[in-house]
Chain A
Amino acid sequence: MNSRRLPIEGVLVLAVAGVWAILAAVYQLSPSLGMPGYVRVWGAGAVVFLVLGGLLLRRRRSGD
């Protein structure tokens, strides 16, 4: 395996985690939206995809 190849799977999933985390923060920091459920779900989603991104990067390292 070419170790210099971009770990695209991990990068994509971490980008997803980032988007979800930003949206959760926007809902948390904007009282006018008043939707705490969105913070819980998008925030939990960010954690799920963060874990998956970490697992993908670890898998990639173990394959090198």
Chain B
Amino acid sequence: MTDIAFSFDEADSTAAVRPSLRLAGLPWIDRRLTLVFVALSLVPLALGLGFGLAVVLARGGFLGFEPETAYRLLTLHGTSAFFWWLYLAQVALMIALAAGERREGLAARPLVVAAAVVLVAGLALSEGTAVMLTPLLYDANPDLGRDDPAAVAGMAGGHLLLALGLALASVAAIVTVLRARERETGAMTAMGFGVLAWAGFLIVSGIASINAFLPNLLWAIGRGGFPAHAATEWHILFHNLHYLPLMAMVLTWYALTLETTGTRSAFGASFSKVVFASYLVFVPPTSLYHMFLEPGLSEGVRVAGTLLSLFVSVPTLIAFLVIVSSLELSTRARGAPAGLFGWIGRLPWRSPAFAGMGVAVVATLLGLVFAFVLIQEKFAPLISDTFFVPGYFHFFAVGAVSETFLAGFLVLIPALGGGRVWRPGLMAALPWGVLGGLLIFGAFGIAAGLEGVPRRTFDVAYDGAAPVAWAGLMRGVAIGGAIFGSALVLQVFGVVATLCGVGRGTVAPRRADPAPSEADVVGPAVAWTGPLAVIVLVVAMSGATIGAFELMRSLPIVAVGGHSGH
């Protein structure tokens, strides 16, 4: 590992200091620990990608599997990618950002080591169970394992170990940021506060995981009755799992914006803290929409759930506005060309990290458009068990969150390991390949869902009784999935190559270009892009909802949802 000479004394609080500069100055052990988590997270990502490619090709009719094998692949894909990749990556980013807040690095290092041990054990248990025993899907549904309690125990045990590992790492992150102080004021930085809020939320989600999976485990080992309310308890955890990656994504955007452009929030640190806290404020009130498929839910609760669900994207939209407006103000102050969107061309699109973040922002907005169709009370029962769900949520899971985390890794790895990004030109282009594939996958998948194609049934021919259009739509899904999956495989290879030091060279970390002061900025009226994007988003949401209603009213059949949740 190449040591990079850097003293924390250089990182004064008044200048915009790139996160990579802070990370490069961390103690050797913290840099190693963070890289261990980066490497560990790439294992389930690679597995999830491989299983996902097999699934999507089978859904398009290009591959054929026995039903049990197909469900096993689906279980492995979801467990690897949705649980283990997204949460191990969060641990890597969280402990890096926490350690970067404190000149001495991590404050509770043994907890981080313990977390690594627990998480490796949990990953092995989850993957082993999904490979060898009855496939229960990623929610470890005990109803599917009534005849195979060992499968229920293995899946629940894996998820519980994940919760324990996340809690250990989160406590270490909290202790670290509580002991960190900004040099001049002694206050907590916006990033330090964001990490604390994020870590607290991870701990609560661990509690939700215990609430969901401990009854399953106790039943499976003969210490309790059958978990009759497993679906409801899963929904509570699942709601948290919607917000957590998005909160992690937004915090990573803040760090990447400073890293790649030298820009900090134009609205100040205090407002950023309010934005980070708003995620936690909006979590519980917006949870009701997950219950729309419960048959006994009263009409009043359904109406309340629909109204509250309108707030579900508020924190992400505010963070989007802050980042885009700050970038616009900063870029214009540095002499960007005139015109409404001319400043966008001045952004560092050749940076792999910035390109990944840019694609993530676009994918987030696309995902939000269709998420609002799904969470409406009248629509949820109709499309929750159709391919509409994977059609839209891959915009979030892949385009938004995974691209952001990989972009974060492309900053972390060179800063911690002293190398440079493998083939940066290619790595800056690949996110756009992912987005292109996602657009095809999403367009065909959403259309297939609205036409009634079931979500988890691999053979949708139904002995020739299914509408002719279904097979064509699913072939489009497979082509799109193969494109974004292939681009993502190349990205993962690039991250691994960067991690392994291919193309290693000494790269001196440098202080960011100073962000323009408020006096340098012509005026707030010049930053119109963010607000305009939100207006376009609201119009698109309304259009998508109206279009979906009209399309479904014109169909000869109606797909009635079941009880799986989304």
B301 neighbours in A (Cβ, 8 Å): 32-33
* Chain A residue with Cβ nearest B196: A52
How distant is the Cα of A49 from the Cα of B296 in the complex, in angstroms?
A: 32
Interface residues of A in 26-61 (CB under 8 A from B): 32-35, 37-38, 40-42, 44-45, 48-49, 52, 55-56, 59
Which residue of A13, A38, A44 has the most chain B CB atoms within 10 A of its CB atom? A38
A38 to B236, Cβ gap below 8 A? yes
Contact of A16 with B232 in the complex, beta carbons under 8 Å? no
CB nearest to A6 among chain B residues: B270
B185 lies within 8 A of A1 (CB): yes
**Category for how many chain A residues contact B:** 20 to 34
What are the interface flags for B186-219 relative to A under an 8 Å C-beta threshold, 1 for contact and 0 otherwise?
1110000100110010011001100110000000
Count the B residues whose beta carbon is within 8 Å of the partner chain — how many?
Answer: 37
- Given known A1-B186, A23-B284, A32-B301, contact A37–B277 (CB-CB < 8 A): no
A12-B274, A19-B285, A52-B200 known; A37+B236 contact, CB < 8 A = yes
CB pair B211–A41 under 8 Å, yes or no, is yes
C-alpha gap A59/B200 in the complex (Å): 17
Shortest CB distance A29–B (Å): 14
Taking a contact as CB atoms under 8 Å apart, the answer to whether A19 and B200 are in contact is no
B116 to chain A, nearest CB (A): 23
Contacts of A52 in B (CB 8 A): 174, 196, 200
Bound CA–CA A49/B197 (angstroms):
9
Contact A13 B277 (CB under 8 A): yes
The distance in angstroms between the C-alpha atoms of A38 and B305, with both chains bound, is 14
Given contacts A16-B277, A41-B211, A63-B186, contact A48 B204 (CB under 8 A): yes
Of A15, A24, A42, which contacts B277 at CB under 8 A?
A: A15
User: Which A residues lie at the B interface, using CB under 8 A?
Assistant: 1, 5, 8-9, 12-13, 15-16, 19-20, 23-24, 32-35, 37-38, 40-42, 44-45, 48-49, 52, 55-56, 59, 63
A-B pairs with beta carbons under 8 Å apart, 13 shown? A12-B277, A15-B277, A15-B281, A19-B280, A19-B281, A20-B280, A20-B283, A37-B233, A42-B284, A44-B207, A48-B203, A49-B204, A56-B196
